[in-house]
């Protein structure tokens, strides 16, 4: 099974100032293509197979500003499609989880902790097929 890395880059200052994470978060993954043209924005559709591992890595565009992953929620999490957990050596900036079920355009929610005191969310998607 494969590991799919997802980079989540955040303009922390603007997201906090505007209380709008969706407008200031940019996502890409290592699948090698943009599904539905959503790579680079906040509505990334990550394509994978049941049994793959997705690893999310969050970083600030400005290295002086702090961002970390606070939690995951939404349909993909609540129905057990994927159960992300933090990788302790990365201080909540890297989380990963095994894909446990197939599904098409299943939405999940990421809640990020910005500047040490602001929680904001956005909601990308996962598409998972069964291995051949």
Quote the mean pLDDT of the chain.
93
At CB < 8 A and 24+ separation, what contacts does 58-62 make?
Answer: 58/8, 58/9, 58/10, 58/93, 58/94, 58/112, 59/7, 59/8, 59/9, 59/10, 59/93, 60/9, 60/10, 60/11, 60/12, 61/9, 61/10, 61/11, 61/12, 62/11, 62/12, 62/13
What confidence tens digit (pLDDT) does each residue in 61-102 have? 999 999 999 999 999 999 999 999 999 999 999 999 999 999
Q: Please give the average per-residue pLDDT across 30-37, as a whole number.
A: 66
């Amino acid at each position: 099974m494969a590991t799919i890395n997802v980079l989540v880059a955040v303009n922390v200052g603007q997201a906090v100032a505007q209380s709008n994470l969706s407008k200031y978060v940019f996502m890409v993954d290592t699948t090698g293509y943009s599904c539905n043209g959503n790579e680079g924005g906040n509505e990334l559709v990550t394509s994978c197979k049941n049994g793959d591992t997705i690893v999310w890595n969050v970083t600030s565009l400005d290295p002086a500003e702090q961002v970390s992953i606070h939690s995951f929620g939404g349909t993909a999490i609540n129905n057990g499609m994927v159960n992300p957990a933090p990788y302790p050596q990365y201080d909540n900036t890297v989380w990963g989880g095994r894909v446990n079920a197939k599904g098409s355009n299943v939405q999940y929610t990421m809640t990020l902790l910005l500047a040490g005191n602001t929680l904001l969310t956005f909601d990308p998607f996962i598409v998972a097929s069964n291995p051949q």
